[in-house]
Amino acid sequence: MFPIASPSSSSSKKYDVFLSFRGEDTRRSFTSHLHTALCRRDIETYIDNELPKGDGISQSLMEAIQDSSISVVVFSENYASSKWCLNELLQILHCKQQQGQIVVPIFYEIDPSHVRNQKGTYEKAFTEHLEKNQEKVDKWRQALFEIASLAGWDSRNYRDEVELIQNIVTDINKKLNHGSPTTILEDIVGIDENLDHIESLLEESSTIGIWGMAGIGKTTMATVLFAKLHSQFDSCCFLENFREKYEKSRLEHVRDELLRKLLKDTSLGRLNSRKVLIVLDDVSTTQQLDELKREVSCLGHGSKVIITSRDKHVLNGRVERIHEAKELSYNNSLKLFNLRAFHKDGYESEYEKLVERALAYAQGVPLALTILGSFLYSRTVKEWESALKKLERTPNQDIQAVLKLSYDGLDHEDKQIFLDIACFFKGELRRYVEAILENCGFAASIGLRTLMDKALISVSCDVVWMHDLIQSMAFDIIHQECITNPGGRSRLWKPDEIYDVLKNDRGTEAIQTISLDLSQIKDLELSNDVFRKMPNLRA
């Protein structure tokens, strides 16, 4: 599901918008209000606040026009009287013709035909220009005709400036792809499997949570949703890596970043009158949310807040609705994997069984499909076979590093419960698992709830389940306790390793739990002496 475009802008230009206008006509009125509205929508806008000096425009101004995605030209009554404005217009037309710059004309209290054909005040202005600037007049006339012939906005069609400016800003947002997910969705597979439900929840609620295991694509879902809805709000803020920012900085820094993006140049007291969109990505504790809520408690009507977390408990009682992020379907898993492994939607027949093995390993997790597919790209069939065989023994460390984030956030007892379930109790009845764990001295009921909230286990039909990738992570954690000697690990469940440890007395002090089926190792004679050598073995 990668790469992902930036939530704030899809343009590589320095500025989103360049404003061209006659200062004496609109600087303190319409253009000022338009500039403020654009900035509130996070649209990077260049406005020249210096009074023109001479007739020619400066090199820096020419560069600003060239380095903008869109030029907005405010044609007012006396626009054509300014040689400065007309020279700006020549540069704008040049950028439109040479680099495809988008140009949006606004006809502010003037008939568009007067601009196109130089009538009224424009005719008077050109009469004066003919006396001093004959060599440029034809170029200026042509520029006015071409720009004024483009689809634009006529202020006379609107009852007030507020409505006009709102429509202009929304249109510019769309032109910049701020409000359209098209460019973001181009390289994302299967996003609609989750996005449709999230959008329906957001229509009904002002605060929603996106919850699921690490690597499932929660951030991607929030990013696409942010891009899709961005243009519908007065201001927006996407706080990525919230957990990391909160832990590295004080709450005040996170709060200040949020308010800076939402308020721009307006006062804190007006936040409750603004319709805002906020995304808090990767929130890990209830404390983080509760403290931030105390600092920023009141948002305007129609505001929406989206929070992603690996811990359902963080969201419970703090959002109105929760969406559980799901794995990709088989067809979308296949498509995503093919795009990463073959850079196309398909593969040669000799890879068929290998692809099936890779899909079985990833089990619909976008992170795993992406990392594994990218690793296998351009490799031979023999190399694929070797890599997949290795995965069966040793999990991919890039995938494991992400999955392990939830495990690292557990306390010591919950870690032990998690490892026990992974090694011995996957697929067992919940009441049986709780009874065994309680007998070992664990607070099993709350422990299982914690693991469920963190998406490390699930319970379906009263049976405890765990995703294979998460179980593989647990196995690797046990393996890392002592890589060379199974007897130095806390849990043993593989018959060959148990046989080797017990038969050869290979250091058993670290062992806490053994899952032993004597039918699999019939020639092994066990006595009480064997178990006396395991002082940490749980009864």
Q: Which CATH number fits the domain that encloses residue 155?
A: 3.40.50.10140
* Domain tally, the chain: 4
Among residues 331, 280, 33, the alpha carbon closest in space to that of 169 is found at 33
Alpha-carbon distance 290 to 255, whole Å? 12
* 282 and 336 part of one domain: no
Domain membership of residue 138 as a residue range: 15-175
* Boundary (domain end) residue, out of 152, 175, 198: 175
* 343 and 251 part of one domain: no
* 34 and 125 part of one domain: yes
Instruction: Classify residue 8: in a domain, yes or no.
Output: no
Runs of H (alpha helix) within 41-101? 59-66, 83-99
* 507 and 447 part of one domain: yes
Tens digit of pLDDT for each residue in 468-510? 889 989 999 998 888 888 888 888 888 778 777 777 766 567 7
The one-letter code for the residue type at 436 is I
DSSP 429: B
* 300 and 360 part of one domain: no
Within 8 A by CB and 6+ apart from 372, the residues are 337, 340, 341, 358, 361, 362, 391, 396, 399
* Boundary (domain end) residue, out of 369, 393, 417: 393
Alpha-carbon distance 475 to 423, whole Å? 7
* 164 and 40 part of one domain: yes
Determine the pLDDT at residue 43: 87
Instruction: Classify residue 6: in a domain, yes or no.
Output: no
Cα 222 → chain centroid: 5
Catalytic residue among 44, 50, 88, 352: 88
* 524 and 449 part of one domain: yes
Alpha-carbon distance 277 to 230, whole Å? 7
* 156 and 33 part of one domain: yes
Q: What is the pTM of this model?
A: 0.65
Instruction: Classify residue 263: in a domain, yes or no.
Output: yes
Among residues 105, 103, 43, the alpha carbon closest in space to that of 70 is found at 103
Asked whether the beta carbons of 521 and 499 are under 8 A apart, the reply is yes
Determine the pLDDT at residue 249: 72
Coil, helix or strand for 22? coil
Alpha-carbon distance 158 to 152, whole Å? 13
Catalytic site residue 295? Answer: no
Instruction: Classify residue 274: in a domain, yes or no.
Output: yes
* 273 and 422 part of one domain: no
* Boundary (domain end) residue, out of 297, 324, 351: 324
Tens digit of pLDDT for each residue in 334-355? 999 998 899 888 888 999 999 9
* 262 and 315 part of one domain: yes
Instruction: Classify residue 210: in a domain, yes or no.
Output: yes
Instruction: Classify residue 398: in a domain, yes or no.
Output: no
Determine the pLDDT at residue 383: 94
* 336 and 469 part of one domain: no
Determine the pLDDT at residue 131: 75
* 33 and 125 part of one domain: yes
Helical packing angle, 430-439 and 444-453, nearest 10°:
120
Dihedral Cα 433, 434, 439, 440, nearest 10 deg: 70
Quick one: tokens of 11? 């343009």
Among residues 182, 297, 189, 274, the alpha carbon closest in space to that of 228 is found at 182
**Which residues does the chain have with pLDDT short of 50?**
1-11, 178-184, 265-268, 527, 539
Spell out where 212-351 has E strands: 235-239, 276-280, 304-309, 321-324
Instruction: Classify residue 10: in a domain, yes or no.
Output: no
Instruction: Classify residue 136: in a domain, yes or no.
Output: yes
